[in-house]
Copies of this chain bind each other. A is one copy, B any other.
Amino acid sequence: MSPVAEEREQQRRDRKAVVSDAKRAHILAAARHVFEERGLDGASIREIAKQAGYTPGAIYSYFDAKEEIYGALLGESLERLNDAVAEGLGAAASDRARARHAAMRFYGFYATNPRDLDLGFYLFGGMRPHGLTPELNARLNGRLRDALKPFEDALLRLGATQDTARAEVTAFFAHCVGLLLLENTKRIRMFQEDSGRLCECYVDRVVERIGADSPDTIPNINRPQRDAINP
C-alpha cells in the first residue's frame, strides 16, 4: 500500500474508532441512567439497550458481558472522582487547607453522586468471572487509592509518618463511606444529623491532630472549638 493510501486507511480507522467510542459511551450513559433509576438489580441488558435505542444483542458488540458494562461504568466513575478531588487543589493556601480540600472533595463527590457509591460497592464486592478481571480490578483499586492520595500527601506534609497517614486515610475512607451510606439510606435523618457537617468535623479533627505541631500559615479563626462535634 502506498503511504498515501496507508494514511487514508488510518484516517478511516480513526474515524470509525471515534464513532465506535462515542457509541460505547452512549451505551454507558444509558446504563448509568438505567442504573440510577432502577438500581443495579433493575438494570438489565434489555433495559439498557432500550434506553440506548438498541436491541439487546447489539450491546454485545461493545461489551462482552453485562458485568463488563459495570466495570466500565466504575472505571469512568473513578475517573470523575479523581477529577473532582484534583479540582481546585492547587489553589489551597496551606497543607491544612489541602488536606481539608482533598478529603471534603472526596466526600462531596459521592454525596452528590450517590449511585457511584453503590456501583463501587457492588463491583468491589462480588463480580462474576467476566467483567472484572484481576488486572481491571487492580487498576480500579489503584484509581481509588489515587483519589485518596492528595489527602494522604497533605497529611504527610503536615508531619504524619507513613504508617499514620495510611491509617488515617483508611479510617477517613471508612468514615466517609459510612456517612454516605447512612445519607443514601436516609438513616442519618433518623439521628437528626447532617452527614456533610459530620464529615467536616471528622476531617478537621484529623487535621488538627496530625498538624498539631505544624502551625497553619493561615490561622484557622473560624473553627476554634473542637472539643466536641456538637459544641
Contact = CB atoms under 8 A, between A and B. Distances in A.
Interface string A191-231: 11101001001100000011010000000000000011110
B168 A229 contact: yes
A170 interface: yes
Interface stretch (A15-23, A67-75, A89-97, A182-190): A182-190
Interface of A: 39, 41, 121, 124-126, 141, 144-145, 160-161, 163-164, 166-171, 173-179, 181-182, 184-188, 190-193, 195, 198, 201-202, 209-210, 212, 227-230
B192 A166 contact: yes
Of A198, A201, A230, the most chain B CB neighbours within 10 A belong to: A230
A185 B125 contact: yes
- The count of identical subunits is 4
A228 B181 contact: no
A191 B170 contact: yes
A178 B168 contact: no
Per DSSP, chain A at the interface is helix
23 contacts: A41-B41, A121-B181, A124-B185, A125-B185, A145-B191, A161-B230, A166-B193, A167-B228, A170-B182, A170-B191, A170-B193, A170-B198, A171-B193, A173-B182, A173-B191, A174-B179, A174-B182, A174-B188, A177-B177, A178-B179, A178-B181, A181-B181, A210-B228
